Structure 1
Amino acid sequence: MPSDPSMVDITRIYYEPAAAALPRGREVLERWPDATLVEVPSHWQIPELHGDEANVRRWVRIKREALVLGVKKSLAARPNGRSADFIAPSTANGCAMACAYCYVPRRKGYSNPVTVFANIEQITGYLDRHIRRQGAKQEPNQCDPAAWVYDLGENSDCSVDALLSENVRDLVELFRRHPTAKASFATKYVNRQLLDWDPQGRTRVRFSLMPAHLAKLTDIRTTPVPERIAAIDDFVAAGYEVHVNFSPVIVTDTWLQDWAELLDQLDAALSPAAKEQLAAEVIFLTHNAQLHEVNEQWHPRAEEVLWRPDLQETKRSQNGALNVRYRFRDKQRHLEQFLELVHRKLPYCEVRYAF
């Protein structure tokens, strides 16, 4: 399992003893034999990693060099109905990337390196039983016309997780055995190791895209957008279903022109086979006042486009958090403009979900 030292170069592993005793935990520890090992009572409570906003200037180093090894305690496939039918139990939490708008750090400390869950056999066993209980999908919906879709990476990026353990590969192989279900995950990192996994159409990879200059400003430590686009054909040829996430859509003075150029680039890059199976999700930016304050300490330039009180209003999200989003009436108009642009530039691309 080759790694990418620019993304992860693990020198310190925090581990729960129960995780280190499992086969997957031992594999992870053996992968970095020279790493300093630190026993912890819980992957959720590591003061030097989590909850300390003063870590802000050390975030990138922590994300690249620290790894947490834990056990996933609660296993549930939560109904979703937007991007996927179900949110699968996580096999990882946290991310080695540092996107300025990411919501995950609000829940688990702002530096938030990756936690790998070692009880993968328990997780895949649960999922296998859950899929079998669903039976065949009787009616098409926006998630998929025929298969139950399970989102794998709610709180992490599976393409990066695959650099750290075999958990993601185990999930791809699980779904390959199920003709009634599909795995799905969004990613901003091109990991070509995945091209050898033979998913046989049962895993959907959603490459997140935005205008390149905005991605350079806000998508910190991710694969450049042109490289994400260039990878789509290869992933389709390798047996993946490949969709795109136009996310987040950030409103600027030139946003429609910028997106028009990106959609033209996408159209020019895709093969007929990729176009035939393409679909998209559209998600406009959601931000958060607390994250804004933290970002001002380390990346204030990003906040010039993310924090726009002149365009935004406060709204309580489904999880109860108070966030800021573009004003309702303006957002509805922007969404209509964006969808019209997508339909005009990519008439073959179904928009499955827009929010």
Structure 2
Amino acid sequence: MTGPAALPLLDIRRIHLEPAAAALPRGAEILARFPDAERIEVASHWRIPELREAEPGDYLRPKRETLVLGVKKGLHFRPNGRSADFIAPSTSNGCAMACAYCYVARRKGHANPITVFTNIEEIAEATLRHAAKLGPKPRPNQVDERDWVYDLGENGDLSVDAMVSDNVRDLVALFRGLANAKGSFATKWVNPDLLGYDPQGRTRVRMSLMPDGMAKLLDVRTAPVATRIAALPDLHRAGYEVQLNFSPVVLREGWEAEWGALFEELDDTLPATLKERLAAEVILLTHNAALHEVNLAWHPKAEELLWRPDIQEEKRSESGAVNLRYRTGWKGRWLKRLLDLFADRMPYCRVRYAF
């Protein structure tokens, strides 16, 4: 179970840590897992000059060798309505993988390796209070017909985080005990340890997928697409609610044949019991100029697919950022073609949302 590179996904050699994070029980547990790693105290997990001032082309090494321990300060729950009803306070930020299109803020520096927040008990208690205050979900919506759903991994990949700490195991246990809420996270990694967490249907895993040839170029350091697909029946049998995340959809010549082959592989692989309640989300590529400049320093080949001003236009997001998206009018037509292709190959799978 490795990514496409020959080097291991994680080889932690240095840990930047806030003293308060290291003093908590979870912080001590993590430090014990990596006893040989250099320890570097920092005032804030956001402000680490060594990461921010790193060589622009040296993008992958910090993701493999560096870990950051911090304390999550703001325990806010943001309404969402797409992947989840709410975005929960994250137990991590950053990622060991290096998807070329990733939107996660690179505020620690260009590479943004994993930061683990060690105040897991505080985060869990805030989630319990929030769910209790909500009570039963009054009516179904596209997120879920019965439960409130909390996105747990907006800023990272929990399958990889579970290699570093027990935060993910604790979150799965938390939602196992809630009658009105589920946890949810998207992933591009296959971690067999998750199969022993006993989620009892209360955690939703959204496996992120794209055509294999495209993933080999864009999904750097992730599990191969075939490995992700092969893991879906195992996750289903282990008690997870399994859904599909087709994100991002990147357009290039021949894209229809590539996506059709992916849908056919899924249809051939998934057991009937999983297909019965399967759902998916579809998100076309969003890019921006700042990420384009970062990628040119370490992975310019990817930008040949991602940076397409001939078919993209600027659009301001809800947060005020200026992004590049496929041009209005054309985007709708391409999305309809993709959804028609999907409905033809996998008519049993409900599309929760697509944009």
The TM-score range, normalised by the shorter chain, is over 0.9
Letter in structure 2 aligned against 1:18: A
Match of 2:9 among 4, 7, 10: 7
Q: CA deviation at 1:207?
A: 0.4
Identity of aligned residues (%): 62
Gaps of 5+ in 2: none
- Bigger mean CA deviation after superposition, 12-21 or 287-296: 287-296
Structure 2: distance between partners of 1:156 and 1:172: 16
Segments of 5+ residues of structure 1 without an aligned counterpart are none
Report the Cα distance in structure 2 between the residues aligned to 1:31 and 1:63, rounded to whole angstroms.
Answer: 17
What does 1:239-278 align with in structure 2 at a 5 Å threshold?
A: 239-278=239-278
Match status 1:209 vs 2:175: no
Misfit runs of 4+, over 3 Å: 2-5, 105-108
**1:57, CA displacement in angstroms?**
2.5
The CA deviation at 1:159 is 0.4
Structure 1 residue 111 displacement after superposition: 0.8
Contact in 1 for aligned 2:106/2:112 (Cα 8 Å): no
- The equivalent of 1:112 in structure 2 is 112
SS of aligned partner of 2:81: coil
Equivalent position of 2:167 in the other structure: 167
In the alignment of these two chains, the number of paired residues is 352
* Equivalence for 1:184: 184
Partner letter of residue 236 of structure 1?
Answer: H
Amino acid at match of 2:216: K
**TM-score, normalised via structure 1 length:** 0.97
Q: Is the 8 A contact 2:93 2:156 kept in 1?
A: yes
Cα offset, 1:338, TM superposition:
1.1
Q: Is the 8 A contact 2:59 2:298 kept in 1?
A: no
Give the whole-Å Cα distance in 1 for the aligned partners of 2:107 and 2:24. Answer: 26
Distance (Å, rounded) in 2 between the aligned partners of 1:323 and 1:91: 27
Partner of residue 44, structure 2: 42
2:221 and 2:209 map into 1 onto residues whose CA distance is 14
Match of 1:140 in 2: 140
Aligned residue runs from structure 1 range 224-243, under 5 A: 224-243=224-243
**In 2, distance between residues paired with 1:331 and 1:77?**
31
Amino acid at match of 2:296: E
What displacement does 1:106 show?
Answer: 4.1
For the pair 1:157 / 2:125, whether they are aligned, the reply is: no
Spell out, residue by residue over 1:131-153, the C-alpha distance to the aligned partner (whole angstroms, 9 max, x if none): 11111111100100000000000
**Partner residue, 1:314:** 314
What's the TM-score, normalizing by structure 2? Answer: 0.97
RMSD (CA atoms):
1.4
Are the aligned partners of 1:80 and 1:86 in contact in 2 as well (CA < 8 Å)?
yes
Query: Paired residue for 1:64?
Result: 64
**Partner secondary structure for residue 57 of structure 1:** coil
